[in-house]
Amino acid sequence: MPPLRQRKPGNTADEDDSSEHQEDGGVSNGQQAQNKPSSNPPPTPAPAPSPLLDTVCTFGAQTFTTDQGLKIIQWSSWAIAYLTASSRHHKETLSPALQKLSGEVSFTRYVLRFYGFFQSLEGYRSGSWAGGSWDNPKIAKIAKYLMAGSMLFYYPLEHVAYAGWQLPTLSKFSRDNANKMSALSCVFWTTFIIGDFWASCLKWNELKKKLNDLGRLLAIKKRDDDKAGMMEVEQEQHAVAKRIRLVKLQVIRCLLFILPSVNWSLPNWATNPLLGELPLNGLMLAEAYTSVYQTLTSAYTHKGNSLAKVLLIWIPSSRCSSCPASFNMGRNGCFLKKPHIKPDIRTKRNVTRSALNNGRSCTMRLWWKVNG
């Protein structure tokens, strides 16, 4: 490690001259520098944060969400290639190019799943794939043994199949054997999907019971005129309702996955598939968009953040000069505050205000309702 640079010792004579000059009533060099107008330009203000860029960067920083983005590219490329295959102008140029791109992205996703075995092992040991604690003990067991346990076999078999496809000269597996290894891996993937569907249904049932209990509790709070308790119960109701929506999306994804997984689990899936190209890849296309929507919905609702609050995060100031509305800036974003206006995500009345703030215009979009 290089030694730290030390400041050079100052000139003693210069320091003495400076002190004598100050004693004689002169102005020191430091004072002269302070009296001179600064020639340096003012610092450039930092750009306002962009929720869109933050969402995209967060989305791309994780392997799981990166794979979801690649799924969109893969199956969207296939869809465009399929639609343009019968076009006279694009069937020899655009369609085969996009078909090739779809295949290349597919193999890229195989590489991203090289870390899947260790993630599955962690989920098996810790039980984290259950998604929190649940009253029904079956959920934790399904997540551990059916879901994480099956993926412990899925990933190594898939890696062997990938090596047989990409390294045929170095691997002892021919392409046919690689296809069989891929089919065997998809058997465990199908097991995972069945377990995920089962666990999601149990979660859905448990959350519905919890929501019903909260409804009865809210009725008691209303009867006792406990406004603080009513507000707390309503917030918990919204949180449970959001979790139910996410579970519903997971169930939809499982239903979209099950037929393709069975198709690819058959030994002759490459030569005599169960599903044709259109239904098979169409289901995968629908699942890709559903998964991204689920991830974005989960990000927006994390820690109580609503979509309206996320849309207002970028507002730079606590008050706009051209309207009397004030903005409460907090950890969960900004929301409009007026005596007669109460934010409510449940209503879908869209209000747009334009205001000028520090020379910049800002537009606020919020779902709200007017009380009384």
Paired strand residues for 361: 356
What is the structure's pLDDT at 39? 65
Which region among 116-120, 181-185, 293-297, 336-340 has the lowest average model confidence (pLDDT)? Answer: 336-340
Q: State whether the Cα torsion 63-65-66-68 is positive or negative.
A: positive
What is the structure's pLDDT at 276? 93
What is the structure's pLDDT at 198? 97
What is the structure's pLDDT at 334? 38
- Average pLDDT score over residue span 212-218: 93
What is the structure's pLDDT at 244? 95
Crossing angle of helices 149-166 and 175-223, in 10° steps, is 150
Q: Check if the beta carbon of residue 204 is closer than 8 Å to that of residue 244.
A: yes
Count of C-beta atoms within a 10 Å radius of residue 127? 16
What is the structure's pLDDT at 35? 53
Name which residue leads in pLDDT, 168 or 251. 251
Q: Which residues contact 175 (CB under 8 A, 6 or more apart)?
A: 164, 165, 168
Q: Which residues contact 52 (CB under 8 A, 6 or more apart)?
A: none
Q: Check if the beta carbon of residue 367 is closer than 8 Å to that of residue 308.
A: yes
SS3 call for 302 = helix
pLDDT higher than 60, residue 162: yes
Q: Check if the beta carbon of residue 372 is closer than 8 Å to that of residue 365.
A: no
pLDDT tens-digit profile of 191-209?
999 999 999 999 999 999 9
Name which residue leads in pLDDT, 289 or 64. 289
pLDDT higher than 60, residue 220: yes
Q: How far apart (Å, rounded) are the C-alpha atoms in residues 199 and 147?
A: 9
What is the structure's pLDDT at 38? 56
Could you tell me how far CA 251 lies from the centroid of its own chain?
A: 19
358: exposed, middle or buried (C-beta count within 10 Å: 0-12, 13-18, 19+)? exposed
Count of C-beta atoms within a 10 Å radius of residue 285? 19
Question: Tokens 């069937």 belong to which residue?
Answer: 91
Crossing angle of helices 277-300 and 63-84, in 10° steps, is 140
What is the structure's pLDDT at 300? 61
pLDDT higher than 60, residue 328: no
Name which residue leads in pLDDT, 6 or 245. 245
What is the structure's pLDDT at 301? 52
pLDDT tens-digit profile of 84-114?
988 878 878 899 999 999 999 999 999 989 8
Crossing angle of helices 116-126 and 149-166, in 10° steps, is 170
pLDDT higher than 70, residue 362: no
pLDDT > 90: what percent of the chain?
49
Name which residue leads in pLDDT, 326 or 290. 290
Which region among 21-30, 131-140, 243-252, 336-345 has the lowest average model confidence (pLDDT)? Answer: 336-345
The enclosing H or E element of 364 equals strand 360-370
Q: Check if the beta carbon of residue 240 is closer than 8 Å to that of residue 211.
A: yes
Q: What mean pLDDT is reported for the chain? A: 75
Q: From residue 106, give the alpha-carbon distance in Å to each of 67, 169, 250, 321, 347.
A: 10, 21, 22, 52, 41
SS3 call for 224 = coil
What is the structure's pLDDT at 215? 92
Residue in 158, 147, 145, 156 with CA at minimum distance from that of residue 186: 158
Confidence of residue 346 (pLDDT cuts 50, 70, 90): very low
pLDDT higher than 70, residue 9: no
pLDDT higher than 80, residue 174: no
What is the structure's pLDDT at 23? 42
pLDDT higher than 90, residue 50: no
pLDDT higher than 90, residue 269: yes
Count of C-beta atoms within a 10 Å radius of residue 364? 20
Q: What DSSP assignment string belongs to 128-175? A: GGG-S--SSHHHHHIIIIIIIHHHHHHHHHHHHHHHHHH-TTTSS--H
Q: How far apart (Å, rounded) are the C-alpha atoms in residues 75 and 78?
A: 5
Question: Tokens 């290639």 belong to which residue?
Answer: 81
pLDDT higher than 90, residue 317: no
- Average pLDDT score over residue span 291-313: 61
Q: How far apart (Å, rounded) are the C-alpha atoms in residues 197 and 202?
A: 9
pLDDT higher than 60, residue 27: no
Confidence of residue 75 (pLDDT cuts 50, 70, 90): very high
Question: Tokens 């199949």 belong to which residue?
Answer: 161
DSSP letter, residue 115? G
Q: How far apart (Å, rounded) are the C-alpha atoms in residues 368 and 308?
A: 9
